[in-house]
Chains A and B, each alone.
Chain A
Amino acid sequence: NAGVTQTPKFRILKIGQSMTLQCAQDMNHNYMYWYRQDPGMGLKLIYYSVGAGITDKGEVPNGYNVSRSTTEDFPLRLELAAPSQTSVYFCASTKRGGADEKLFFGSGTQLSVL
């Protein structure tokens, strides 16, 4: 198993541009998450999904959108990028989401908005 795969690893955007961060998992996990990690800070939940076709907002959803058309994929869309979205983005997944199972994280996407 590849686990959780994120692309791209690095990206520089200009203010106002848009992009999609890709996330895929091959572990048949039903719960998937997007976190952002600002320098020297903890992880903030952006969006999450409990299964295909179902998504919900986390703590910091403004400026982002997600979709979950399949169990494997959970892309994060940034519309009209702003400097405040400069961060490292982690996608994660877990099997049942029963709150007692570990999160498997992707390797992260480092995004700079200039």
Chain B
Amino acid sequence: GENVEQHPSTLSVQEGDSAVIKCTYSDSASNYFPWYKQELGKRPQLIIDIRSNVGEKKDQRIAVTLNKTAKHFSLHITETQPEDSAVYFCAASITNAGNMLTFGGGTRLMVKP
């Protein structure tokens, strides 16, 4: 089955700096890669996703890049703010496979004011 590795497990940045979280996946058939944000004590919520036919996607301060050849994808957050502090999870799945998402282990991002 699919295996998703996520790094780093913790990341501390100063407010205004950029943050990058990286994930690798094992199944070359995976073609859908979402990112979820989980604030302390809350439920995970989708923040951005990308499909395999796209190399990059951007939504305001958040961007995701995908390298299918190397089987890795990354989340980029620019101009970080204290409210970006949370745990971020990457995931991977195969379209039309019941949305069986395999999640990475998570990255705890701390943005220091």
Contacts and interface: CB of A to CB of B under 8 A. Distances in A.
A59 B1 contact: yes
A75 B100 CA distance: 19
Contact of B104 (A42, A94, A99): A42
Given A41-B106, A42-B89, A43-B44, A103 B95 contact: no
A100 B50 CA distance: 9
How big is chain B's contact interface, by range? 20 to 34
A90 B36 CA distance: 14
A48 B67 CA distance: 29
Interface stretch (A13-21, A65-73, A76-84, A105-113): A105-113
B64 interface: no
B43 A106 contact: yes
22 contacts: A40-B106, A42-B6, A42-B89, A42-B103, A42-B105, A44-B103, A45-B100, A45-B102, A50-B98, A59-B1, A90-B43, A94-B99, A97-B99, A99-B32, A99-B98, A100-B51, A102-B34, A102-B46, A103-B99, A103-B101, A105-B43, A105-B45
Interface of A: 31, 40-45, 48, 50, 56, 58-59, 90, 94, 97-103, 105-108
